[in-house]
Structure 1
Amino acid sequence: MHVTIDVPVPLSAAAYATLVRDESFVRFRTAVPGARVDDVIVTPADGESFTVTVRRSVSAAQIPPQVRSFVGSELEIRQVEAWEGERGGAWHGTVALEITGTPVRMTGTVELVPSGDGAILRYDGDVRASIPLFGPAVERSAAEAVRATLGAEELRVQAWVDVHGTPA
């Protein structure tokens, strides 16, 4: 199932790209209601490239009841964003999101583009669940969970800016 998720960011693309390299900020922005952040790793690469890895746990209540017995009461989600350097005022990268211990995965692209006084963080990819019989239902549920989780980050970014201000 194809998903596109646009997250408005109340910062310039350059300011957000600076913040997303800060493990404290990443932990704060990904600590959405109903999720527990277990680990955050930011790894610089050559030039302006970097990778952000987040491991978090969420309730399995969002998936169809017929498959909950396979995953338990909690899901561990691992999200990896590999960012390239800035090109023309925008940042581009790839994203992989997997639900550990299940055959459910999202792969695609992530981009940060200027928009008005801020920026748009856009995730674009495919959610796949290779589960016989229940695959399409799980894909729909997983896609909605991904939309809700990533969409909720907009409020967290604004909360960070309200407390810490805009980075220089």
Structure 2
Amino acid sequence: MRLSVTLDLPTDAHAAASLLADPEYVHQKVRASGALEQHVDITGSADDAFTVTTRRALPTDQIPAHLRGFVGTRIDVRQVEAWEAPAPDGSRVGTVVVEIAGAPVRLSGRTALTPTGAGSTTVTYDGELRATVPLFASAIEQAAAGAIRSALEVEQGVAREWIDGRGGGSGDGYGQAPQP
């Protein structure tokens, strides 16, 4: 099934990339998703290409009870976002892969970070979500899509709080440039 989710961030594209490559922010968004355990690895830098790999153990409470037998009491999710170097306006593209260990579910697709106005950026995830379980694939894909959408909505909330806590907008990495 096709899955497309767009996050709106109240900051410019360069600051949004800095946010996405910040280990403290990534740990915070993973915790906010309800992770029971987590691991974060970031290579590269927001000034160039970078890759963010997260692993998190999540409870299966968002998965319908009749499908939990396929995944158990928790799911281990591995997400890799590989971002290319930015264009002069700060926009960039990349790839995203989300795999659920022990479950036959995988999302693979493209990401895009796009400036949408002064102090505003969108991050779009667009890909194919596949489950390879005969008879139940559609139900599992629907459940996984709901869980992924929920996690990304949480991420948008964490990003907005993070940006607001640093002053909002653009300039000093995430927020407004300091006033003299």
Structure 1's unaligned 5+ residue stretches are none
Deviation at 1:33, TM superposition (A): 4.5
Number of the residue aligned with 1:153:
155
Aligned partners of 2:31 and 2:38 also within 8 Å = no
Larger radius of gyration between Structure 1 and Structure 2: 2
Identity across aligned pairs (percent)? Answer: 38
Number of the residue aligned with 1:25:
25
Number of the residue aligned with 1:41:
41
Aligned partners of 1:35 and 1:56 also within 8 Å = yes
Distance 1:59 1:120, change over 3 A: same
Number of the residue aligned with 2:71:
71
Q: What TM-score results when the alignment is normalised by the length of structure 2?
A: 0.86
Distance 1:4 1:88, change over 3 A: farther
Give the Cα–Cα distance (whole angstroms) in 2 for the partners of residues 33 and 84 of structure 1. 25
Greater share of strand: 1
Counterpart residue type for residue 102 of structure 1? A
Aligned partners of 1:3 and 1:125 also within 8 Å = yes
Number of the residue aligned with 1:58:
58
Structure 2's unaligned 5+ residue stretches are 174-180
Give the Cα–Cα distance (whole angstroms) in 1 for the partners of residues 166 and 68 of structure 2. 40
Q: Does 1:100 align with 2:78?
A: no
Aligned partners of 2:30 and 2:38 also within 8 Å = no
Counterpart residue type for residue 129 of structure 2? V
Counterpart residue type for residue 9 of structure 2? V
Aligned partners of 1:50 and 1:82 also within 8 Å = yes
Deviation at 1:139, TM superposition (A): 0.3
Distance 1:37 1:123, change over 3 A: farther
